[in-house]
Amino acid sequence: MMELDRFSTELLAIAATLAVVLVAIMLLRPRIFTSYLKHMTGIDLSPKDVARVYKKRGKAGVRELFLDLIIREDARSGPVITPDSPPDREVLLPPDKL
């Protein structure tokens, strides 16, 4: 009987530890997302903003925010392309065929 109590106590301790780890991971998701975003794209975003958008609109809202930021960053850093712009032939043809 004593071994069963000890086993159940150890099992309860393991379950509690895993629950604490799970809660910590869930709370750190916005911070992890923003650090990856900064490292991979250079876009600096607050974890509070990500948490706020996630609370309001869920995963789809965070995805929309991410795509909007990527598009804005790309538009700011790249050339302005209009219908009157000549085509970029370097992309279409190898350099020796130009």
pLDDT for 30 equals 86
- The pair phi, psi for residue 22, each rounded to 5°, is -65, -45
* CA atoms in the 13 A half-sphere facing the CB of 10: 6
Q: Looking at the predicted structure, is the pLDDT value of residue 8 above 70?
A: yes
**Is the Cβ–Cβ distance between 41 and 21 less than 8 Å?**
no
Instruction: Give pLDDT tens digits for 46-71.
Output: 889 888 998 999 989 989 988 898 88
